[in-house]
Chains A and B, each alone.
Chain A
Amino acid sequence: MQDTGKNIMIAGVGGQGILLFSNLLSKFYTKLGYELKISDVIGLGQRGGGVESHFRYSINPVLSPFIKAGDVDFLISFEQTETLRYLHCLKDDGVIFSSTFELSTSSVNTRIEQDMPESKTELIKNSKNKTFIVDPEKYKSSEFDISKMMNIVMLAFYAEYRGYSHDEMIQIVRESVPAKFVEGNIKAYMAGIQIAQSKIESKSLI
């Protein structure tokens, strides 16, 4: 069956390369001939606020730049509080890809609010959706810190899950990042494939 289009919600905090992530993904879908609409709600991300990107691709023209709550097929999140913030937007069969990274919010730091006592990772795992959790600390080594390149790791993870061509994705990364960063990014991408293969039992091919 042909994939007629999906809604992807990308979430995180400023400085995590979310814009690059959605740019790379957009080039991939453009090459496949899809129509796109991507709405980046960066707001005051640079000043500690959240970042969300509504990413929609379809074989038909994409009209609204928003993904309606309840209409998200894939939630790709780079920060746990942000994962929880968008859980309610998922379809019943929506899939979560979430990093265990956590950045405490300024409202918690200044004691306006108290953070939840429960483990966020557990809450995410216990959601009714299919969930993949990646702990960057677990895959960090002395010579290579993937935690700084989770955007590329997650791109590889998502591509593996969707059964996309890694060669094509790597080619897009190669064409899109400055020459001196290509090698590091490809290394992160390869790490992403490995992590994905260790976690994914069955791929979603549409």
Chain B
Amino acid sequence: MNQHLLLGAEAIAMAAIDAGISGVYAYPGTPSTEITEFIQHSHIARERNIHSTWSANEKTAYESALGMSYAGKRSLVCMKHVGLNVAADAFMNSAMTGVNGGMVLVVADDPSMHSSQNEQDSRVFGKFAMLPVLEPSTQQEAYDCIHYAYSISEQLQLPIVVRISTRISHSRAIVVSQSIQKQNSLNPDTDKRKWILIPAFARMRYAHLLSLQPKLLELSEKSPFNTVVKGNSKQAVIAFGIAYNYVMEVITAHNLDISVLKISQYPIPHTHVAEFLYTYDSILIAEEGYPVYEELLRGFSGNNKLRGRLDGTLPRTGELNPDHIAQAFGIAIQQEYSIPVFVVNRPPELCKGCSHRDLFEALQIVMKEYSHNHVFSDIGCYTLGALKPFEAINTCVDMGASVTMAKGAADAGMHPAIGLIGDSTFTHSGITGLLDAVNDKSHVTIIISDNATTAMTGGQDSAGTHKLHSICEGIGVEPSHIRTITPISTGLQENIQIIREEIEYKGVSVIIAQRECVQVAIRNKKKNKTS
């Protein structure tokens, strides 16, 4: 038994190593990135030859993890909530095939949208796929539930979803670890009827998945992660995942006599829930994320015992905190605490010396020459180009949408139709869209701002480094219209000229604006100095 001070993300990573995984597959995304990084930096993982390099996107990551499971070994796949949208096809169908070696999906939600475009709740996905979902409330539980997840994954032959959120992932606590398990040996699954989802087999697999549901419920009913704290009043709380901490914080601080049902394993345990609904007069439903189970428990006809996000007792959106819970219990917050108005904000900005700055400067000069001056952009540091002083982009929707939205706009007759995308986002989800544009001979200009890293999440390797030109050429962009520029102030005039030319070219052109991320450059310099 060893004690470690770990982030929730790191507790998950350590648990997965200890549970004998043979590989982790992931694409970086806040707040999930630290899981894979911990495994990449772990000496034990290296000694044990655990795969940990980044995948091109969440779908390739998910499928690789599934392949490792097929081969009989334990695998981990990690992503942020919106990443699961990208991996959704693989995810949903892996519930149909099931797994061989234990497989765990860790999905990190970002309620309050600290660094995401929405706050979708991955528990809905878990329900959609009819898979067990675990939602740890502490770092220790995060560690423990990974061991448990691998064991039930192999028992049920199903992938298991572990849902965490920003606060669990990004806070540290002391975690007690268990001894490390051996990795599974190679043992490929030979049951073709399980893995070939042609309709005849798929129908059998679906029947099988449905037949497992009572077993999943039974596991939840006796789960060590679903517990009851008994009180003597007629008031109760059903608290899910991390919300349990906020509830207990308030109950302890104010010495309240309130019963609490903590749920950290889904499907929700019917017996406990039914008992609570029957016993108590007023029940607060505290969920971090969407009011998924509040809605379910209220039902169509409503249940006036229940309070939560849907009736305004708790805020409808955003992360919960102890103050919200206290107010829900009718405890007046003594003082309205707020930041004095005279304190200026500190919004993020592009780093000094960042290549995106020089690119935006050149692009804006050219765009001023046109009446339609829209730039379809994407997800990465360059999204900060939305803010002052640049205000240089018009869209940011999902990974890769810059390319395809520019194409659609060009099809509608917009000119210029500029797609501005980062190198890592391009290889994540931009290539197929560019192929569409090439096949359609769309009149678009795609600018790949290539800083040779996945900068926004902290500078992870980028799948397309040194390959972008040949990728574009390979899918059919005219070689003479794949232009490489260096976004730097001394090259401003030349870069303006090239952007102008390519906007005017009637076909697909790609401008690769290539200069290393300044943060990565500083880090590499430091690394060279210390070694």
Contact = CB atoms under 8 A, between A and B. Distances in A.
B338 interface: yes
Interface in A27-51: 27, 30, 35-44, 46-50
Q: Interface centre among A84, A89, A118, by most B CB within 10 Å?
A: A84
A116 B344 contact: yes
Contacts of B322: 64, 66, 68
B222 interface: no
B128 interface: no
A24 to B, nearest CB: 11
Given A110-B389, A178-B530, 17 more contacts: A13-B346, A27-B5, A36-B172, A38-B171, A42-B170, A48-B346, A63-B252, A64-B321, A70-B334, A70-B337, A105-B345, A106-B387, A112-B388, A113-B344, A113-B345, A116-B342, A116-B344
A116 B341 CA distance: 10
Interface residues of A, number: 50
Contacts of B173: 35-38, 62
A79 to B, nearest CB: 9
Contacts of A89: 337
A49 B174 CA distance: 28
B340 A88 contact: yes
9 contacts: A23-B5, A36-B5, A36-B173, A39-B171, A43-B115, A47-B350, A106-B348, A108-B344, A110-B388
A88 B344 contact: no
Contacts of B174: 30, 35-36
A16 B245 CA distance: 30
A9 B85 CA distance: 36
Contact residues on B (Cβ < 8 Å of other chain), bracket: 35 or more
A61 B248 CA distance: 11
Contacts of A13: 346
Given A48-B349, A49-B347, A105-B344, A88 B338 contact: yes
Contact of A47 (B168, B246, B344, B381): B381
Contacts of B346: 13, 48-50, 81-82, 105-107
Interface in B309-362: 321-323, 334-335, 337-340, 342-351
A49 B344 contact: no
Interface of B: 3, 5, 114-115, 167-168, 170-174, 245-246, 248-249, 252, 321-323, 334-335, 337-340, 342-351, 381, 384, 387-389, 458, 519, 530
Interface string A129-167: 000000000000000000000000000000000000000
A105 B171 contact: no
Nearest to B345: A107
A68 B384 contact: no
Interface string A71-112: 000000000011011011100000000000000011111101
A37 B343 CA distance: 28
